[in-house]
Amino acid sequence: MIIHTQEPILEVHDLTVSYSRKPVLWGIDFTLPSGCIAGIVGPNGAGKSTLLKTIMGLIPPSSGFVKLFGHPLEEVRNRVSYVPQRESVDWDFPVSVLDVVLMGRYGKVGLLRNTGTRDRSIALDCLDKVGMSPFAKRQISQLSGGQQQRVFLARALAQEADIYFMDEPFAGVDAATEQAIIGLLREMAGTGKTIVVVHHDLQSARTYFDWIILLNMHLVAAGPTEQVFTEEMVQQAYGGRLSLLSQVGDVMEKRAFPSRES
C-alpha cells in the first residue's frame, strides 16, 4: 500500500540499489510531504540505512532517481542535512564538541574559507537547543552515547537545512534523551522542516511518526501512519520470521487498545 502526496518535498522514483551486483533495494517508489516526521521502519537487513545513504548520494543507485524539492541533490545540498549512525565515526578523534558542531557550517562557508564568529554563535545556539552547551569545550571522547547523539543532532541543526535525514538517532540512547530528541524533532517539524528517521522499534514508531515507510528490501507500505501502519502491513514487512510474528501481533494489539493495559 503506497500513498503518494500531491506536493512532494522528497520523491524517490523506482530506486534499485545493489552491492556488488546483489540487489539490496528493489524498485523503491514513494513521496513525502513537507513538515512531517517520517519513519523508515523494517527488520534488520531491510536496507533502511542503504535507502538513506542512496538518497544522500553516498551510494550510487543501479536505477531510478531521487528528487528533493523537485531538484537533484547536487542543486539543493545546502537545504539537506544528514546525520550518520553514531557508530560510524571514531569518537576518540582529537576534536571538541564545538568543533564537531561547527562542521555543520562547512557546507555554508565553502572551500578554503574558515568558519567565522557568526558560525560559532550559530553552533553554540544549536548546542543549547540540544542541552549540550556546558559541554562545548569538552573532548568528544568524554561523551556518553546519548551525548554523542545530541552532538550529532546539534551539528545537523547548525546546517540550517529544510530536510533532515537521520540514521538511527535513537540507537543506544536512554529514554530521557530519546524523549528530548523526539521533542526537538516535533518542534522542528512544527516550523515546516521535514525529518526522515531510520528507526527499528515498532512500539514507538506509531507515536513518533506521522508518516511511515515500511521496508523489507521491497517497499511494503508508505503513507500516513494511521493508514499504512496496520498489523497486516507490519506482518508483511516482517514476514517469514515466524518467531517475530507473534510479537508483532502483541505490539499492534497494545498500541491499538492502550486502555487494556491500565
Among the candidate windows 80-88, 192-200, 201-209, 219-227, which touches other proteins by CB under 8 A?
Answer: 80-88
SS3 label, residue 73: helix
- Mention every residue, 6+ apart, whose C-beta is less than 8 A from residue 21: none
Among the candidate windows 94-102, 185-193, 208-216, 217-225, which touches other proteins by CB under 8 A?
Answer: 94-102
Per-residue interface string for the shown chain with other proteins, residues 147-176, x marking contact by CB under 8 A: --------x---------------------
- With b meaning 16 or more CB within 10 Å and e meaning fewer, what string describes 245-260? eeebeebbeebeeeee
Under rule CB under 8 A, residue 139 binds other proteins: yes
CB of 82 to other proteins, least distance (A): 4
Rounded to the nearest 10°, the torsion over CA 85, 91, 93, 97 is 90
Evaluate whether 210 touches 225 at the Cβ level (below 8 Å).
yes
Cell numbers for 256, please give them: 491499538
Under rule CB under 8 A, residue 58 binds other proteins: yes
Contact with other proteins (CB under 8 A) among 62, 96, 204, 230: 96
Nearer to other proteins, 82 or 209 (CB): 82
Diameter over CA atoms, the chain: 61
Under rule CB under 8 A, residue 195 binds other proteins: no
Contact with other proteins (CB under 8 A) among 13, 53, 79, 255: 53
CB of 92 to other proteins, least distance (A): 8
- Mention every residue, 6+ apart, whose C-beta is less than 8 A from residue 191: none
SS3 label, residue 10: strand
- The binding site for other proteins (CB under 8 A) comprises 20, 53, 56-58, 74, 77, 80-82, 84, 88-90, 93-96, 99-100, 103, 106-107, 109, 111-112, 114-115, 139, 141, 155
